[in-house]
Amino acid sequence: MWWNVLTCGFSWCNLDRMGHALSFLGTPAYGADYNPEQWDHAVWAEDLDLMRTAKVNLVSVGIFSWAHLEPRPGVLDFSWLDEVMDGLAGAGINANLANATASPPPWFSRLFPETLPILEDGSRVWPGSRQAYCPSSPIYLEHALGLTAAIAEHYAGHPALAMWHVNNEIGGHNARCYCDMSADAFRTWLKIRYGDLDDLNEAWGTSFWSQRCSEWDDVLPPRQTGTFHNPTQDLDFHRFSSDACLDIHRAERDVLRAITPTIPITTNFMVNAFKKDLDYASWAPEVDIVANDHYLNTADPEAYVELAFAADASRCLVEDTPWMVMEHSTSAMNWQPRNIAKQPGEMIRNSLQHVARGADGVMFFQWRASRAGAEKYHSGMVPHAGTDTKVWREVTELGAILERLDGMIGTSVTAEVALVFDWESWWALDERAHPSIDVTYRDRVQALYRSLWNAGITVDVVPPDRDLTPYSLVVIPSLYIANRDMAERFDRFVASGGSAIVTYLSGTVDENLHIYLGGYPGAFRHTLGIRVEEFFPLREGEQVTLDDDSTVDTWCELLHLEGATALASYVDGPLPGVPAVTEHHHGEGTAWYIATRLDQAATDALVRTALKTTRVKPPIPRVTAPPGLEATRRSGPEGSYLFLINHGDEPAYVRTRGRDLVADRDVTGTLSLKAGAVAIVQEEAD
């Protein structure tokens, strides 16, 4: 091969399926989306120099390059990408090479307008943005697979090729397409799920509103209707749409794997506060490395808590698969209503927070902030203002820190507390025609996670089918859908000594959204020792007082004790005297139920009560930790690393011994950590 003549100090990657897919890097992955096609050649050499200065070891190339690689139908031009790949190889920088299928070029939409997605109201999306294709389009797939094969064959064996990046944020803008091709694919998917039309009618509850389907052709996607959709049809369309997008990943991955079997393959997920269309728990077993894109919700001044949640969720999507951040931002984004720039030190805190929670790499969108295009105001590693900048200084500082983390890859984070998180419940609970518009899935998820964060406890954010037995405390916020298996596993967990917290609307319906009869929350009622007779949502802004003097809002329930005891009851509002928070000793364990929307302080207090029944301890004693100090630990056979991230305004003092790999100095007793600073202490064994 012509590129065998290239010589570089370069680590060749072999995917050992039993080993760690990123270990070839030696240190955590560091880099960005690299889009040199947006720039003159003159800049390319400087890019490589700057990447070396910043200690970049991996860049994602070719993500939006379809129009450059196939400028006209069937005419391929790899010349510019060859130059880029050779340059990377010469500089010893690994390529996470995309198969370039994320956005079909304008000629594709012109030739195949039927591939453009159709919205719920029947209107067709125009080209001119990105991802303008229907996920169920066979024409899109045929062209995407052809391009994938051509790229894989061309770059197989190239020394820069270290990883494959399938597509990009599949379904980010086009997850739900309502066209006739999607309708056909939806029917095929439903036939596999239900087999028989009678079973579908039963699952969808079509006896209501005369919706019974007598032919498969009667079955449609939930297109725009006069009033509410059938809720189970809507949920199944969510499930189908996530699977249709996953099928694109699988098909493109399989082409890559057949041609380059030893190269690890990933695709970037969007586990964050903004995107809910894809059920990544079902995607994660299909990648060699879980790669997440995480952008802060900058409307939230404490967005680092949601960052921690997303990191814990990414780590736990699938067991025994490494994860990394594929994209986050060095500073401002361009797509939020107000794009808040990062404070000095914030980018490093964000990055190391992901590493602290198990990430084996932190990458950015993008290497160089663009001069043109829809995202020209999005920050990059190299800002518009150049290298005499806060961003560039922090980029090089972070690169130097990550280079010191050479024993980090493959070490793990251990948690004794699990928070159950479920995309299906997110889709279903946020449907319309529910008791209160003020009840949203993420609200209680974030509140309960926040309480654990405030207590300094490390949490696994796990899908509902995960084994609960390794945990001491399991937290179940608003898990609207619970199947019988989940209900039984939860009951066994508590009965055999576990502690659990459940919040309102959990376990209300089965996987078809049919309500469990006999009192809410049907799936968990027995374990919780309660029976809820009726929901009493509150008016907008209405508050109710509890007998512990706290106030609640949004939601109340007419609850009867059936073995549980009341910890707090309403003193006013629609249900004076009725229990609002309960505790139930069940078998060897204890389960608490929160029937109302507690404020954060009361939620924190209940979580502390539950933690007291366990032996769960934070990585450092809480008494020594000022508010805003985040502590986590990664450990492996070679030793352990204590991560201390000070998000607060006060200095923190922590007793520890070892070497701080951020400051690059020994710590011999007490580490003092300035406001905003981070330490990673490679701990000395006692």
- Residue ranges binding ligand GAL (CB under 6 A): 168-169, 172, 293, 327, 333, 335, 365, 375, 378
Contacts with 453 (C-beta within 8 Å, 6 or more apart), sequence order: 305, 308, 459, 630
Residue 227 phi/psi, 5-degree rounding, is -140, -150
**Both structure tokens of 428:** 């279903």
Q: Which of 76, 81, 79, 71 is nearest to 104 (CA)?
A: 71
Q: Which is nearer to ligand GAL, 378 or 450 (CB)?
A: 378
Reference 647, options 401, 296, 291, 293; nearest CA is: 296
Residue whose C-beta lies closest to ligand GAL: 365
Which among 410, 402, 409 has a CA at the least distance from the CA of 680? 402
Within 13 Å and on the Cβ side, how many CA atoms surround 95? 29
- DSSP letter at 114 equals G
169 counts as catalytic:
yes
Residue closer to ligand GAL by CB (options 379, 550) is 379
User: In b/e form, how buried is each residue of 155-167, taking b as 16+ CB within 10 angstroms?
Assistant: beebbbbbbbbbb
Given 70, 252, 306, 327, the catalytic residue: 327
Q: How far is the CB of 32 from ligand GAL (least distance, A)?
A: 10
DSSP three-state, residue 586: strand
Q: Is 44 exposed, middle or buried (0-12, 13-18, 19+ CB in 10 A)?
A: middle
- Which residue type is seen at 675? A
- CB 370 → ligand GAL: shortest distance, Å? 10
Residue with tokens 């197989």: 156
Report in angstroms how near the CB of residue 63 gets to ligand GAL at its nearest.
7
Distance CA 554, CA 570 (A): 13
Smallest separation, CB 365 to ligand GAL (Å): 4
Known catalytic residue at 286: no
Determine if residue 452 is left, alpha or beta; phi over 0 gives left, psi from -120 to 50 gives alpha, anything else beta: alpha
Q: Which phi and psi (to 5°) does residue 586 adopt?
A: -130, 115
DSSP alpha helices (H): ranges in 287-367?
304-316, 346-356
- The C-alpha atoms of residue 306 and residue 315 are separated, in whole angstroms, by 14
Q: Cis ω on the peptide bond leading into residue 521 (within 30° of 0)? A: yes
In the bound state with ligand GAL, the residue whose beta carbon lies nearer, of 34 and 423, is 34
Which of residues 108 and 269 has its CB atom nearest to ligand GAL in the complex?
Answer: 269
Supply 501's token pair: 């917290």
Backbone angles phi, psi at 233, to 5 degrees: -60, -45
Of these residues, 70, 169, 424, 630, which one is catalytic? Answer: 169
Q: How far is the CB of 277 from ligand GAL (least distance, A)?
A: 13
Residue 280 to residue 282: CA distance in whole angstroms: 5
Strand bridging mode 417-420 / 459-462: parallel
How many beta carbons lie within 10 A of that of residue 146, not counting itself? 15
| Amino acid in position 452 | L
Query: Taking the chain, what is the end-to-end CA distance rounded to the nearest angstrom?
Result: 53
The pair of three-digit structure tokens given for residue 140, joined into one six-digit string: 């899109």
Residue 60: partners with Cβ closer than 8 Å, 6 or more residues away:
31, 32, 33, 34, 95, 96, 97, 98, 165, 326, 363
The Cα 528–Cα 479 span in angstroms is 14
Burial environment of residue 348 by CB neighbours within 10 A (0 to 12, 13 to 18, 19 or more): buried
Amino acid at 314: S
Q: Compute the least distance from the CB of residue 268 to ligand GAL, in Å.
A: 6
Catalogue the active-site residues.
169, 327
